[in-house]
A and B are shown apart, each in its own frame.
Chain A
Amino acid sequence: MQRRNLIKAFTLTASIAAMGMTWTVQAAETIKVGILHSLSGTMAISETSLKDMALMTIDEINAKGGVNGKQLEAVVVDPASNWPLFAEKGRQLLTQDKVDVVFGCWTSVSRKSVLPVFEELNGLLFYPVQYEGEEMSPNVFYTGAAPNQQAIPAVEYLMSEDGGAAKRYFLLGTDYVYPRTTNKILRAFLISKGVAEKDIEEVYTPFGHSDYQTIVANIKKFSAGGKTAVISTVNGDSNVPFYKELANQGLEATDVPVVAFSVGEEELRGIDTKPLVGHLAAWNYFQSVENPVNTEFVAKWKAYAKAKNLPGADKAVTNDPMEATYVGINMWAQAVEKAGTTEVDKVREALYGQTFAAPSGYTLTMDKTNHHLHKPVMIGEIQEDGQFSVVWETSSPVRAQPWSPFIEGNDKKPDYAVKSN
């Protein structure tokens, strides 16, 4: 008896492990596409909608006949906001499920976690979120913004007459790599524009911080010293308490505008925006952009959300990372068509210089060398209805500088992708 039970226990564990190893969905003649976004844990708040957007785009491509005559088949996994699990799931997608491309990741740490796996196995990852730069892997295509495509234009706008001609800058962020790096770049940029050290203040809060009383009081104090703008790299959930405190302490956008790099339409869904009118965000796309491509894109998304009965479908919104996901999948499909194969090396070549008429109203180009998109930069003001109205935009798409010239030593980095090892 004892023996049999022991054996049972061990075989149970072993078989469960084995199931994990060999879990594949067999289907003939499809191209498999991996989707690596957290559906549970802290990042689910942001990443769930990217998964849905990816599925919608894949459906759309399939409805048009697929790629190279084959249907796309999505393999969705949940890395559960657990960074080592990203690497494990990435490896699983590439080696067990044998997907040809992966769309996924939100946080930099998740990308950094899977990067060695993609480089080792020569996989292909499309990363759709704005980030701090300082990376250029041949196995990753970055469809979000590099700092010069978001942060620097935003500050230039704040310096302009229309942006309020700010003289002092309060750099507020959550204490982690993206805000630190972005603020480092911004500080160098501000100083190069003649802003004095004493007119720049950098403040960080811990992850998940929810009490902004002291910080808002400090912003007020700081702003008494001259026209001030706040540049916020506050992460996700902390934005709501920050903006609520800002509004309730009577700090208005006309006095001290806040420009945020991590607040988009999705985030505003959770905030009462009436007191926030006039605060700013910098992105490469806003749902409110008016052009036929975007109108169709937004309508398609709303219809999809309703059809799939996604939570909160009646209030479905699009945002920048969703657009970047949409663009990324479409560009990849075009490149596969062009290359005639899904082989990574050939698709990579085909992607260079690939163009796509994006919902942002611009025809975006994948750079010929640096794996980043040329993107327009837009500054939007928060409106009462939770949308942004674009108050400023670049005249044409901007080429990314993943190696920011404002960081020492980057001038020696090559302007093409090389494996990190």
Chain B
Amino acid sequence: MPTVVTRILLSLLLLLSLAAHAGDAQDFVTANPAKQASLLERWSAAPDAARLPLLEALQQGRVAADSAKTAFIETAGNYQAAEGEAQPLDTPKKLRLNNRLRGLIATAVASHQLLVDDPVLRLAAAQQLQKSAKPAQLQLLNAQVASETDDAVRDALTLALANLQLVDSDLAVRLAAVRLLGETGDPLARTRLETLLDPAVESDPTVRTAAETSLAQVKRKLLIGELLGQAFSGLSLGSILLLAALGLAITFGLLGVINMAHGEMLMLGAYSTYMVQVLFQRFAPEALALYPLVALPVAFFVTAAIGMALERTVIRHLYGRPLETLLATWGISLILIQLVRVIFGAQNVEVANPYWLSGGIQVLPNLVLPYNRIVIIGFALFVVVLTWLLLNKTRLGLNVRAVTQNRNMAACCGVPTGRVDMLAFGLGSGIAGLGGVALSQIGNVGPDLGQSYIIDSFLVVVLGGVGQLAGSVMAAFGLGIANKILEPQIGAVLGKILILALIILFIQKRPQGLFALKGRVID
């Protein structure tokens, strides 16, 4: 019984406290979504520094309510009353938000952050408001522009204000706003300016002309961003193709093994990454962000070891019979796929980007370069250089080239051809494993991962000229860029088909690929 009594008493107290001082948190928690939205809009127009912690908690999804609808804020598993000293009656449940509310919260947080001391935060807030400021905030922004001390923040705020001033009743203000927008390369400005071209929206012809000029300016800037974006995505796709194909350039290009299991080496590299990630999660969660770096050597050695084992058991019996290596490696690939499927399940496994590979850098208003892609482009070049050095500057490389050019002669010169074959195949497989680590950072990791890259890999190697490292590099980047030029014009599907057709035509012209060695053919 006492519990019931206390509960009733508590709720009475609560009601009293609500009546006395219904705090913002409490208002928010008890409101329905529509009411919550209008609350947020109100708060955005009239920010109050004291409200910031609540809004930030909302943004981070830390606001909860117990069964009595008392608001609590969670910090590292502990719940503290948002207002007052109340203790939760039961485990509070996190507040459910939807995308609309999340958007409004972001705006509200930004409005409140205009009041903080840190100019960096203020700048970010002003930039957020450029996207999402509401007409109701006009006054607030005006006031902030007037009182802002930091130049960068003031400029950003002026721009945010300009967005709202496009419909100002004062002609001069409108004109100034239109001109200001013309100096941005913001895709939103383009839409805003476009609406002004309609006489029904903007009655004044001078503003319309100014809008036209500004629009042209914005469009030019956007075009630059788009072109840069296309170039970047071409490079990025090229680097991915290159990483996928580089191992094959060795196993197929140099050793002449039509290695249909190459895709599975990529897959195993990606699964090694997954395993490393799992181990980090279990044993060293604090260093989790470093897992891709550890995964690189692990993937290299795992796939190289598997590759060498395959070479010793199967492939070494098949040198000089290239088309039969196709069949045997096809069999190997079937076994590896099903093996992974039995061990890890048919579903994809989760390989998360660590923080330093997530997100991107905003270069232009309409151009974000994702970190993972930037890193992969660099990594691809690094692997190419490494491979080149290995093949051209080391004893192993010399031996590999000797064996691939004339096996018997190399054997006569005392080159241990068996060992060299094994190491070369291991190297090719290991490089494929490195490619797999990179692929795991942009795509899915599943048993079929390799299958989706195998055709592209062969095309890259063949197009570049078998046995030509430089050719493979050229071919990969060429294909990547051509693909990205075609895709916006005719769509991804036809683009891909057209690329295949172009490759077929190109090979007709240059049957030996881009970088074929000319010379006397020995028959």
Contact = CB atoms under 8 A, between A and B. Distances in A.
A contacts B: CB pair < 8 Å:
yes
A206 B233 contact: no
B293 interface: no
Interface string A45-65: 110110000000000000000
Contact of B347 (A239, A266, A275): A266
B462 to A, nearest CB: 20
A221 B360 contact: no
B338 interface: yes
B358 A248 contact: yes
Contact of B446 (A45, A244, A278): A45
B131 to A, nearest CB: 8
Contacts of A310: 345
Nearest to A224: B187
A172 to B, nearest CB: 10
Interface in A202-226: 203-206, 208-211, 213-215, 217-218, 220-221, 224-226
A270 B347 contact: yes
Contacts of B496: 206
Nearest to B355: A274
A206 B493 contact: yes
A44 B100 contact: no
B492 interface: yes
B204 to A, nearest CB: 24
A240 interface: yes
Interface stretch (A110-118, A156-164, A189-197): A156-164
Given A208-B452, A270-B445, A271-B350, A214 B233 contact: yes
Interface string B447-479: 110011000000000000000000000000000
A389 B343 contact: no
B262 interface: no
A175 interface: yes
A162 B346 contact: no
A184 to B, nearest CB: 17
B346 A44 contact: yes
Interface stretch (B137-145, B251-259, B370-378): B370-378
B358 A247 contact: yes
Nearest to B371: A248
A255 B100 CA distance: 9
B352 interface: yes
- Report which residue of B33, B98, B371 has the largest number of chain A beta carbons within 10 angstroms of its beta carbon: B98
A276 to B, nearest CB: 11
Interface residues of B, number: 64
Contact of A311 (B99, B106, B191, B345): B345
A23 B233 CA distance: 53
A409 interface: no
B492 A391 contact: no
A312 B491 contact: no
B342 interface: yes
A336 interface: no
B478 to A, nearest CB: 15
Contacts of A311: 341-346
A214 B230 contact: yes
A17 B155 CA distance: 80
B440 to A, nearest CB: 10
B443 A241 contact: yes
Contacts of A214: 230, 233, 484, 487-488, 492
Interface string A222-253: 00111000000000010111001101111001
Contacts of B372: 244, 248
A178 B452 CA distance: 21
A40 interface: yes
Contacts of B343: 311
Contacts of A241: 442-444
Interface in A116-175: 161-165, 175
B370 A249 contact: yes
B358 A270 contact: no
A124 B131 CA distance: 56
A245 B96 contact: no
Nearest to B443: A241
Interface string B324-366: 0000000000000010011111111111110000111010001
Interface of B: 33-34, 37, 96, 98-100, 102-103, 106, 131, 187-188, 190-191, 226, 229-230, 232-233, 236-237, 240, 338, 341-353, 358-360, 362, 366, 368, 370-373, 442-448, 451-452, 483-484, 487-488, 491-493, 496
12 contacts: A39-B346, A45-B448, A162-B98, A206-B492, A209-B492, A211-B233, A213-B484, A271-B350, A274-B352, A311-B341, A311-B342, A311-B346
